[in-house]
Amino acid sequence: MSLWFVGDGLGWKQRAVSFAAGVVTAYYIGPLVVWFAHATEDSQKMGVGFAVGLFGLAIAKELFKEINNADLIGAFKRRFFGREE
């Protein structure tokens, strides 16, 4: 559901990778945030896991947007070959 709102402008492969990034972030970083916040209730733990996963999803989306908008080949040519375009 969150991917519909966060995943605007991404292809289906990028959406799948963003989803996986959100799941991995929630799985590995979520328990650390729960421990740090001293959350004891199950509803608190689930809410923190959702928020951390959504954060990971948003970070992956922004990375894909930057990659899509970047002129990587032009930057490579300018950096290593000194060519101006």
Residue 80: what pLDDT?
A: 80
pLDDT in tens, 13-25: 888 888 888 889 9
Rounded Cα distance between 33 and 31, Å, is 5
* CB atoms inside a 10 Å sphere around CB 57: 24
Rounded Cα distance between 68 and 10, Å, is 9
Average confidence (pLDDT) over 54-68: 84
For the whole model, what pTM was predicted? 0.68
